[in-house]
Chains A and B, each alone.
Chain A
Amino acid sequence: MALAHLPPLAASLFSLIAIASLLLTFVMLGSRELRHYLYAFALESWTIAILSAALGYYGNFPELYLIAILTVLFRGCILPYLLLRIIRRLNVAREAQVLLQPSSSLVIGAFAVIFTLTVAGGIGAGLGLGGSVVMLALTVMLSMMLIGFLMLTVRYEAISQVLGLLVLENGIFLGGQILVPGMPLLIEIVILFDLLIVVVCFGVLVRYLMRHVGSTSALALNRLVG
């Protein structure tokens, strides 16, 4: 295990960054404006990039500096820019209909965090890692997954669903950085590129939705049943 023994400063820095990402996820969960959503996502990507760089410095993984730069470039700049372009082209600024009010989703999100805390606690106890920053990373990763799925379920607007998926990916990326900082470089880069292609595909599909279905809300997608 690479990060079992960290200087206290580094450990608190990592914890701070992980918690900041989780908070930004809650910002996304609690807002109905698509733009706020997007800004929170971009900020979260920057936080994760800082985390990569800090890990590279403290954990002596020089390749993580490259990952940090690519994360800023892809997740922090290009992806939000592409999504912003899609939002501008849509004439929807906020979620018109919601299954759950933001306040109720926040409460459910809080329960999700408590649940993952228990799960991560169970796993950490088995590995003898109770209370370390790794445990926190595992909790944050699993929470972001659950919240991402929650956002996928309770939001109807196409762009919110894309952002929900990106939160899932961000969660995995954040957790992955702390749990397995030695993951081969090639794979991390391939996954980053993959994400870029995913968003481009979504952009094209959103345009199809607008032109051929006439709406970008999942509520309009009700033809195929049974």
Chain B
Amino acid sequence: MAGGLLLAIVLAPVAAIVIILLVPRPRLAERLNLAASVIVLGASLPLPWASLGGPHVFLDRIVLADPLGAWAVLCAAIVYFLGSLYAVGYMRLLDEEARLARFYALFAGFALAILLAPVMNSVALYWVAIEFTTLVSTFLVAFERAPDSIEAAWKYIIVVSGGLSLALLGTVLLYWAGSFVLGPRYEITWAVLRAASPHMNPSLLLLAFLLILVGYGTKVGLAPMHTWLPDAHSEGPAPVSALLSGALLNVAMIGIVRTLSIVEAGEPGPLPRAALIVLGAFSLFVAALFIVRQRGVKRLMAYSSVEHMGVMALGFGFGGGLGVAGALYHMLNHSLNKSLMFFGSGSMMRSFGTKDIGGIRDVGRRFPVIGAVWLAGAVAITGAPPFGLFASEFTILRAGLTGPHAWAVIVMALLLIVIFIAFLNHFRIMYFAPAGNGTAPVRGVSLWCATPMWLAFLPVLVLGLWWPSAIWHYFGIVAHGLAAPPMLALR
């Protein structure tokens, strides 16, 4: 069951890419990409349930379907579908008809790399998949060929490659630490390393974890390694920003969570968790500072991603059933909500012809329907009830209160309030400030662009009002899997 679903998830984008490259026609390419994303979404929806009941490994133990990975795949598939739908409308506005086919091939390739990473059973192949996402998405960020986009792409690839080299170093050290227990040759999978972890040298294990945390933390966008994120997220086309923010960051977070689980199977002391929590809290702090004085509308959304990755890091850092459940729920809610926010920003950017918050005025009056959804999304993303992000952030706060890191809960609550005020103040300006001259929108918003915003918004609302008990139970299984004593017998 899980194997077939994974096969569909991989083959659909691959087929789309091959056909697009063979027959590069823009209209065909957008349909193929959309069809691939529908298949991926269709196969991902049952995947979490198919992945239950023991680890499923395929293809000579290269591919792993476990509850944690399946959840990240589901989040990524949703964003891929929404992004593909939105791209149909958005990319036609760019006047890049000749290169559109190439865009969709890259877009499907990017989604494929994101979908592959969480199901890699090998720690090293996970690294390769993450590195591959960087390489593909660099060209998506640089797609518009403006000097700004090229600059963003260059910073992105240099900073992230540098960060990932630290993650590779950490992976090598982890393998080395394991080789004292398991002999010079063994399979470098998450489960094997986790089983060997209690017998590994603690200081080496700690060093490896910190390197991996900083390495994948760069990709997740945890401050102070977040410097590439606002540039790359704001300069790529809007569907790419959504995929970067809503899918890629989660997938990189999975690597940190799995490594944390490996390290904690031994006895590392409180430092690994504390490191994750400190990075999370610092991300919130940095995001709050930059949100307050932000001038670019997409950069605002990008810093909000830094904030939410910080929240997620806090959730996983607090740990326990509540922390993991909150963080995973937050992953889904943030994927949906941030897609909505980037779609709205992209449409407004195109309509008003500017990236500046200062140039966007009277959104509510000029776009009554889309404007209302976007505004509701802004309220949701700041963590206000009754939306999904309120439920997940509140769960994370509750998880932290019972643990030894209560200070982080206070910091998080204060910074969330600051971000709430600052973020909505920007929206107040865009919606209700008196309009200046020359800010009339050039273009309306097409149905292709409006539909995915609704499709993203409605689940955020539903998930805020009703947290299905099946999902709650599922998170319990994930949390148990992360904290359970290692079951695998040593060779």
Interface size of A in residues (CB-CB distance below 8 Å): 44
* Chain B hits for A123, CB < 8 A: 201, 203-204, 207
Could you jot down 24 A-B contacts, CB within 8 Å?
A123-B201, A123-B204, A127-B180, A127-B201, A148-B165, A165-B161, A168-B165, A172-B172, A181-B184, A182-B184, A183-B124, A183-B175, A184-B185, A201-B139, A202-B157, A205-B142, A205-B157, A208-B142, A208-B145, A208-B150, A212-B146, A224-B152, A224-B234, A226-B295
Which B residues are in CB contact (< 8 Å) with A149? 162
Contact of B188 among A169, A183, A205 (CB under 8 A): A183
A residues bordering B, Cβ < 8 Å?
Answer: 1-2, 122-123, 126-127, 141, 145, 148-149, 152, 158, 161, 165, 168-169, 172, 175-176, 179-184, 187, 190-191, 194, 197-198, 201-202, 204-205, 208-209, 212-214, 221, 223-224, 226
Interface flag for B97 (CB, 8 Å): no
Within B123-148, the residues touching A (CB, 8 Å) are 124-125, 128, 131-132, 135, 138-139, 142, 145-148
Whether B150 contacts A184 by the Cβ 8 Å rule is: no
The 8 A-B pairs of least Cβ separation, nearest first, read A182-B184, A2-B184, A182-B185, A187-B124, A168-B165, A179-B176, A221-B151, A224-B231
Q: Establish whether residues B147 and A175, one from each chain, have CB atoms under 8 Å apart when the complex forms.
A: no
With known contacts A123-B204, A152-B158, A191-B128, A205–B176 Cβ distance under 8 A: no
Query: Which partner residue on chain A sits nearest B146 by CB separation?
Result: A212
Please determine whether B154 and A209 come into contact, CB atoms closer than 8 angstroms. yes
Give the contact-size bracket for chain B: 35 or more
Bound CA span A198–B135, Å: 7
Given A187-B124, A213-B151 in contact, is the A165-B165 Cβ separation under 8 Å? yes
**In whole angstroms, what is the CA distance A91 to B326 when docked?**
54
Chain A residues whose CB sits within 8 angstroms of the CB of B128 once the complex forms: 187, 190-191, 194
Q: Is the interface of A mostly helix, strand, loop or mixed?
A: helix
- Decide if B188 touches A145 in the complex (CB within 8 Å): no
Q: Would you call B191 an interface residue if the criterion is a C-beta within 8 Å of the partner chain's C-beta atoms?
A: no
Most buried by A among B142, B173, B299: B173
On whether the beta carbons of B147 and A212 are closer than 8 Å, the reply is: yes
Residue numbers in B under 8 Å from A148 (CB-CB)? 165
A183 (CB) vs chain B CBs: closest residue: B175
**Which of A145, A201, A214 has the largest count of B CB atoms less than 10 A from its CB?**
A201
Whole-angstrom CA separation of A13 from B151 in the bound complex: 44
